Amino acid sequence: MVKYKAVDLFCGVGGLSYGLKRSGIEIVAGVDIDESCRYAYEANNTTFIHKSVSDVSAQELNELYNGSDIKILVGCAPCQTFSKHTLKVLDREKSQKWRLLDDFARKIQEIRPEIVSMENVPQLRKYDVFNDFLTVLRQNGYHVSYGVVYCPDYGVPQKRSRLVLLSSLLGPINLIPKTHLREKYRTVRETIGDLNEISNGDIDSRDILHRCSRLSPINLRRIIQSVPGGKWYDWDEELLVECHKKKTGATYSSVYGRMEWDKPSPTITTQFYAFGTGRFGHPEQNRALSLREGALLQTFPKRYKFIPRNGKVLIRQMGRHIGNAVPVRLGEIIGESIISHIKGFYD
């Protein structure tokens, strides 16, 4: 039987790794520069290597594949550099994160894994660094496919679009067909509707992660006047934010909003716990999303361990960990695509 092992670069707390593991792929290590991800990654996946991808050596990674017939290298380079949300904020040419995809490409050239997968924001396609990455793959004999995946098509209950690339030295490789029709998209209600009700700023006594940030008095008044799927146009005038009063304010229609029960959620970002940063108001309760709700919408199972027993919950850090993760279900789909591809050559 053919054996295959995977290493996850830029692994974070392990959303992609866990999805690959659920598909049947053995994960042998995750690499990330953020030490705060170690507990969650190792508690749910495997060995965590605390290094920058530029610093970890090809020899070190190759040793992890010992006994494997097929080497799989996957990763999601930090995407803020390429996100439309930072379009006018970051000087990309000076950002250290700008060249992380080049570091990924160098590891591919040095290791020559049979399978490579990369996940990122759709905007990445617009930049030379992505075209350079494609050139490296093709010049080294890889068959490459990529496209923008609308995550509800694969069972992720959020309106998240992601660039997914698959490449192989074995032959042509593609993502498996969509698994969910529009009328069967997973919804907010299906995903978080069974959680206990909590109040603004409260914590569920039986679930330490089912906690939400406390809204300011004015934001509490705003969410009371918000309707699911509505906009700030529904508020009394005295509740409007200054930017909303300007002509350009119309472009901020999706902030300070409630989610809708029977649709997928908006994209879960690193600040999903803050009512004012997106449509992150609970559909019914007068509060922002809890950490648990964000994790579930990212398709982390309830059993996923984010902090040690009796560990301290840091909302901003946890929000960053959850929001930065590849949805587990998308990782599983990528894994199933890889396994289906391998079986086509080895069965």
Active-site amino acid positions: 79
- In Å, what is the CA distance from 232 to each residue of 213, 227, 235, 276, 279? 20, 9, 6, 11, 10
131's CB contacts (< 8 A; 6+ apart) are none
Reading the block at residue 29, the tokens are 């290590």
159's CB contacts (< 8 A; 6+ apart) are 150, 151, 152, 263, 264, 265, 266, 267
Name the DSSP letter for residue 304: -
The closest alpha carbon to 334, from 118, 95, 152, 172, belongs to 118
Name the DSSP letter for residue 314: -
Q: Decide the pairing of beta strands 26-32 and 4-9.
A: parallel
Phi-psi group of 201: left, alpha or beta (phi > 0 → left; psi -120 to 50 → alpha; rest → beta): left
Element (H, E) at 27: strand 26-32
- In Å, what is the CA distance from 180 to each residue of 113, 145, 184, 305? 31, 21, 6, 28
CB-based burial label for 236 (10 Å; 0-12, 13-18, 19+): exposed
